[in-house]
């Protein structure tokens, strides 16, 4: 069963983290954070939350109540809880009047919070929530990252996108390596427009603009290319990346973000807005050191729980996958073999390895990775996607 999606509405960063830490249940997940503004409403609409937790320290201002009332009438099939440190009868009454189901203290213990959420959710389900609500397709955002260049981030991002598309999913691939992104090159796309034109358009970022500034590749993947020159990177902020993701969410099942090998404003924004972070490393000592440093930073950013490790260019005789797993106390989700022939053929053809060399071991492992990702998010194990007799259709539309 899909986990209950919770969105935390708060402007206070410490409070966001406090609420996040009090949700540590297998059955619930914090899908995102939002502010009490238009961008927050867009984010909430795309995340399809089951539960909205509004966390406020001190007096709860009228605009918060008005905002939540508006959200509850716009975003269907969810209920709201208010967490505050000054609970009195007036506050509880007012909260009920504006549609909150419960008012709780900010120091409510995780077990109690989980219990309250579960009970209200089952009650709501029985009463009036749409029983088919769980059939809504919630998008999953997957960032492909590592603190090191050349490990295979772009290769994994492109091929995973192609594999998910082949499995019938609507996939959006964003090249967010804004200085040295090479998704367009690797997919043999000559983009007329890029992410720079999108964020600079006078109509702002809308779904219409995302579609018109992106290209539907032969694999069926919708691709938003990066700037063709590194100096354009400075035109794009973390807020732009966040907005693109928020606007695209309702239209795509998977949004894959190819990131640069560094922590900066826009890579952190992408990581914060992702459901999963695929960290791509090679099995050598430099990778191991870099992975350690990056995971420490991600832990400080409260993002470590989203991390999955991918070993790429796996060569026998170097550090074993098991050593990686032991070192980080987490399992490696995919171990992609080193295959220069397949990688080179793919670049020469301008097609993902998954298409150009569909029978290679790389494609097989990427197919397995896509299956694991689909299974993780839907709970359903897809039929093995690599079927040698079936040919990849170059005419599939997104
Ligand atoms: N599994 C692999 N086997 C062989 N070569 C690979 C593999 N994965 C990536 N490569 C090659 O390594 C180089 C760097 O890959 P790329 O995906 O651009 O890395 P990054 O995006 O991390 O900088 C490219 O030339 C690519 O073709
Ligand atoms: Mg790259």
Is 237 in a helix, a strand, or coil?
Answer: coil
Residue numbers of the chain with a pLDDT score lower than 50:
385-390, 396-398
Distances (CA, A) of 138 to 2, 40, 79, 225, 275: 10, 17, 17, 24, 11
Residues with CB under 5 Å of ion ligand 2 are: 153-154, 177
CA of 121 to the centre of ligand 2 (A): 42
**Structure-token match 């970022």, residue found:** 205
What DSSP designation does 304 have? G
Cα dihedral 210, 214, 216, 222 sign: negative
Report which protein residue has its CA nearest ligand 1's atom 27: 343
The pick from 148, 149, 155, 261 for probing ligand 1's pocket by mutation, whose C-beta has the most ligand atoms within 8 angstroms, reads 155
Rounded Cα–Cα distance for residues 120 and 97 (Å): 17
- The closest alpha carbon to 255, from 171, 378, 369, belongs to 171
Ligand 1, residue 258: give the atom nearest the CA.
Answer: 21
The pick from 151, 161, 343, 356 for probing ligand 1's pocket by mutation, whose C-beta has the most ligand atoms within 8 angstroms, reads 343
Residues with CB under 6 A from ligand 1: 149-155, 312-313, 336, 338-340, 343, 347, 362
**Structure-token match 């470590």, residue found:** 304
**Would you say 227 and 196 are in contact if contact means Cβ atoms under 8 Å apart?**
yes
Rounded Cα–Cα distance for residues 170 and 67 (Å): 32
Question: Can you state the percent helix, strand and coil of the chain, rounding each to 5?
Answer: 45, 20, 35
Distances (CA, A) of 354 to 23, 249, 381: 38, 25, 20
Residue 14: exposure state from Cβ atoms within 10 A (0-12, 13-18, ≥19): exposed
DSSP string, 352-388: -HHHHTTTSHHHHHHHHHHHHHHHHHHS-PPPPS--T
Rounded to 5 degrees, what are φ and ψ at 59?
-60, 140
Domains of the chain: 4-135 (3.40.50.2300), 140-378 (3.40.50.300)
pTM of the model: 0.88
**Structure-token match 């440093």, residue found:** 293
DSSP string, 135-172: GS---EEEEEE-SSTTSSHHHHHHHHHHHHHHTT--EE
Ligand closest to CA 186: 1
Give the pLDDT of residue 131: 56
**Would you say 356 and 349 are in contact if contact means Cβ atoms under 8 Å apart?**
yes
């Amino acid at each position: 069963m899909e986990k209950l999606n919770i969105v935390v509405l708060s402007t206070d960063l410490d409070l966001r983290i406090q609420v996040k830490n009090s949700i540590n249940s297998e059955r619930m997940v914090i899908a995102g954070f939002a502010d009490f503004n238009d961008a927050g409403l867009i984010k909430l609409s795309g995340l399809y939350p089951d539960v909205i937790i509004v966390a406020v320290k001190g007096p709860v201002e009228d605009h918060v109540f008005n905002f939540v009332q508006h959200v509850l009438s716009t975003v269907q099939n969810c209920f709201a809880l208010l967490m505050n440190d000054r609970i009195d009868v007036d506050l509880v009454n007012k909260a009920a009047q504006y549609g909150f189901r419960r008012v709780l203290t900010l120091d409510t213990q995780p077990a109690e919070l989980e219990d309250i959420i579960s009970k209200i959710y089952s009650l709501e389900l029985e009463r009036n929530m749409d029983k088919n609500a769980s059939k809504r397709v919630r998008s999953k955002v997957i960032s492909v990252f590592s603190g090191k260049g050349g490990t295979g981030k772009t290769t994994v991002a492109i091929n995973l996108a192609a594999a998910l598309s082949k499995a019938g999913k609507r996939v959006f691939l964003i090249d967010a390596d804004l200085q040295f992104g090479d998704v367009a090159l690797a997919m043999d796309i000559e983009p007329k427009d890029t992410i720079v034109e999108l964020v600079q358009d006078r109509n702002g970022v809308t779904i219409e603009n995302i579609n018109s500034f992106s290209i539907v590749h032969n694999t069926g993947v919708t691709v938003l290319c990066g700037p063709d020159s590194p100096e354009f990177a400075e035109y794009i902020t973390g807020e732009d990346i966040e907005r693109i993701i928020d606007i695209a969410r309702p239209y795509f099942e998977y949004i894959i973000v190819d990131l640069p090998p560094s922590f900066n404003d826009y890579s952190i924004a992408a990581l914060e807005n992702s459901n999963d972070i695929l960290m791509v490393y090679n099995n050598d000592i430099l990778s191991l050191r870099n992975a350690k440093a990056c995971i420490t930073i991600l832990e400080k950013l409260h993002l470590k729980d989203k991390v999955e490790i991918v070993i790429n260019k796996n060569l026998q005789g170097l550090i074993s996958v098991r050593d990686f797993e032991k070192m980080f106390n987490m399992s490696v989700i995919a171990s992609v073999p080193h295959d220069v022939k397949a990688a080179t053929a793919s670049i020469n053809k301008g097609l993902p390895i998954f298409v150009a060399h569909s029978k290679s071991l790389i494609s097989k492992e990427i197919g397995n990775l896509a299956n694991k990702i689909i299974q993780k998010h839907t709970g359903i194990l897809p039929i093995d996607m690599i079927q040698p007799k079936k040919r990849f259709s170059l005419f599939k539309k997104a």
